[in-house]
């Protein structure tokens, strides 16, 4: 998979980029996508403007089925850090989770119903497990 990264924060995203590339090496596909790292303010604006929800979120995906390009994933690093702390796991696990979650949305998976959520979350955990990023309940 070919992934293009854009960093619209002042943070160094090099480790996150290496992590995401490693995760998606496990996914056998020729598709391309972009991952854009945003600040809390930027993702809040995007969430408000595109989804009508005026609050910070962790990840937003925009599918774009053009040739092999499947779309864009926007990840809020501030929320990723907060959630890693809240869930008592590593920032790597959280960034991995958000990138895979966003990727599955690009492919058309969703979690509006219990059944859809089970399918999506099972697929998500399969990908994360291959990357050694399983969720560990403490």
Structural domain harbouring 84: 2-130
Q: What percent of the chain has pLDDT over 70?
A: 97
Is the residue at 135 inside a domain?
no
Tens digits of residue pLDDT in 63-99:
998 888 999 999 999 999 999 999 998 999 999 999 9
Is the residue at 39 inside a domain?
yes
Determine the Cα–Cα distance for residues 24 and 131; give it in Å rounded to an integer: 9
Task: Establish how many alpha carbons lie within 13 A of residue 11's alpha carbon, considering only the half-sphere containing its beta carbon.
Answer: 17
**pLDDT category, 137, cuts 50, 70, 90?**
low
Task: Establish how many alpha carbons lie within 13 A of residue 34's alpha carbon, considering only the half-sphere containing its beta carbon.
Answer: 14
Q: What is the pLDDT of residue 136?
A: 63
Is the residue at 100 inside a domain?
yes
Number of domains in the chain: 1
Tens digits of residue pLDDT in 15-32:
999 999 999 998 888 899
Is the residue at 138 inside a domain?
no
CATH number for position 60: 3.40.390.30
Is the residue at 136 inside a domain?
no
Q: What pTM was estimated for this model as a whole?
A: 0.93
């Amino acid at each position: 998979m070919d992934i293009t990264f854009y960093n619209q924060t002042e943070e160094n995203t090099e480790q996150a980029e290496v992590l995401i590339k490693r995760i998606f090496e496990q996914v056998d596909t020729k598709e391309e996508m972009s991952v854009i790292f945003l600040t809390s303010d930027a993702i809040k604006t995007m969430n408000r403007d595109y989804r009508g929800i005026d609050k910070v979120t962790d990840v937003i995906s925009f599918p774009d089925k053009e040739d092999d390009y499947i779309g864009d994933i926007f990840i809020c690093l501030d929320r990723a850090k907060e959630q890693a702390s809240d869930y008592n796991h590593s920032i790597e696990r959280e960034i991995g989770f958000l990138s895979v979650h966003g990727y599955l949305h690009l492919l058309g998976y969703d979690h509006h119903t219990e059944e859809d959520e089970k399918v999506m979350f099972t697929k998500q955990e399969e990908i994360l497990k291959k990357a050694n990023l399983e969720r560990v309940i403490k």
